[in-house]
Amino acid sequence: MKLLFTAAAILAAIPAAASAQDATGTVTINANVAPKCLFTTPSATITIPELAGADGKLDAATVNGQTRTLVGWCNGTAATMAVTAAPLLNAGSGGTSFDNHVDFTATALANAVSADDTTTVVGPGTPSSVGLFAGDIVVTLSGAASAGGKLLLAGAYTGNVVVTLSPTVAAP
């Protein structure tokens, strides 16, 4: 009898479990990717073995048309690119007969958009909107000229071109 009573209690409990009400909960997932820019190839070098022509003055053709390629990307539609160029300088004193300073213009091309800067004006050039892009940033030199058109002072000359990619995040 005790066995029969236990079986009846189990059978009575089965319909109650089958008629239990289902309940659900939801977890919402929110995520974000911040606007960023990154160089994957952040540097390159241009080496010009001889700046001066046979007459001792700047041979502009040794500078003009020189190119190097950086590689980068920006994942935001408001991204910009700016160029800052620093002239080729020799640390020695040029005196009255010699130049120790070579100016030029640097142009960067990315995503079919260019930005440039000239060394004759201090500070970066005007930024250009490059938007979303991933790929080559080709930097080209042009417009080379010695400051006074004089003979170039012997020695090492150094300058640079800095390309800045900015996600241009607006302040809230």
pLDDT of 105-150, one tens digit each? 999 999 999 999 999 999 999 999 999 999 999 999 999 999 888 9
pLDDT of 1-58, one tens digit each? 454 445 555 555 555 555 689 999 999 999 999 999 999 999 999 999 999 999 999 9
- Residues 34-166, CATH architecture: Sandwich (2.60)
Please report where in the chains the tokens 């089958």 appear, as a residue: 18
With CA atoms as reference, report the closest residue to 69 among 162, 165, 140, 137: 137
Q: How many CA atoms lie within 13 A of 155 on its CB side?
A: 15
Three-state SS string across 91-147, please? Answer: CCCCCCCEECEEEEEEEEEECCEEEEEECCCCCCCCCEECCCEEEEEEEEEEEEEEC
In the chain, domain spans: 34-166
